[in-house]
Structure 1
């Protein structure tokens, strides 16, 4: 699985970006939300999700992990494919989608192209509890701003089998006492003690 790509943005459009990674061009399908975030950048890093179907292999790119996590939540709902999820992330900001689902706002979800009443209701039924209980796309979730030591620490904690909300809370506490020189291993140890 390709977790992210980092390189130069060779071609950008509101629907896709081609990233040159050491001479190899990766074509990523992106949302309007991601395009807005990278529009003025000539290079950077995008989190990715490789969607494999019978007829194609499509690489989706996301400006941050929060958008990627919401995308994964959306495609877990029956009737919501990868293209529809990307359309949702283009039609509304991730925070707005989460808020609409948590508040059960069918009309707001229906305003997105490709989302009918039944799909909107299914999204609410299947995701409302997950999103309102502090899952990965929670409105107040801790989201590291870049691929830094915080991201590495959070990934390490979750790979140890610790739930993301608990890992985020422990890491927040650890970061309050950490300095800019605190090594990754120490940050993980402090976080584990904060649980």
Structure 2
């Protein structure tokens, strides 16, 4: 396994780069996210993943280790290969994709070109627990959500609102204002409901 390449950047396109290491030029496939982070400097370091198939050896490169780890998780899902995983990381930043997986946000995942409903659901089902454990994420974002938002949801339920309807509103409020108190969440939710 080739863990990383450090060398001279010879060529850079939105889909791949060529790095010269000790006289050998390596073609490395990259996402648009990595492309945006690569400076046009002489020296470069990219973390890599070598995918070996019967008909090809493909080298994928990542500026950040986080992106490489997420790529490995994505290709472990049935029906997602290297190019699809790279495409997913091109449309959504690694952190946003992790958050979508952790919070069961199938719409965000499905909004990626080439990803249908079933594939998006499979990604969430297969990776949600892994992403939450690996990156310390809890379901629906933070521990603040689990305390303040949960109390606000209970209070809104007592006031006669249906829990399903209030969950979306409260989640949106907590995403925009993570430090909101229970009272603030309830007031903002009442304005939206």
TM-score (norm. length: structure 2): 0.69
Matched, 1:5 2:5: yes
Q: How does 1:29-108 map to 2 (within 5 A)?
A: 29-108=29-108
User: Residues 44-66 of structure 1, C-alpha deviation per residue, up to 9 Å, x if partnerless?
Assistant: 11011110111111000110211
TM-score of the pair, normalised by structure 1: 0.68
Partner Cα separation in structure 1 for residue 136 and residue 110 of structure 2 = 21
Residue 104 of structure 1 contacts residue 128 of structure 1 at CA under 8 Å; is this kept in 2? Answer: yes
CA distance in 2 between partners of 1:64 and 1:72 (Å): 13
Give the Å deviation of 1:114: 1.3
The alignment of Structure 1 onto Structure 2 pairs a total of residues equal to 138
Listed as ranges, the gaps of 5+ residues in structure 2 are: 139-193
Return structure 1 stretches of 4+ with deviation > 6 angstroms.
none
What residue number does 2:181 align with? none
Alpha-carbon contact 1:98-1:138 (below 8 Å) kept: no
Map of 1:121-132 to 2, 5 A cutoff?
121-132=121-132
Q: Which has the higher helix share?
A: 2
Determine the C-alpha separation between the residues in 2 that align with 1:90 and 1:52.
Answer: 22
Structure 1 residue runs without a partner (length 5+) = 141-195
Equivalent residue number for residue 178 of structure 2 = none
Report the RMSD for the aligned CA atoms in angstroms.
1.5
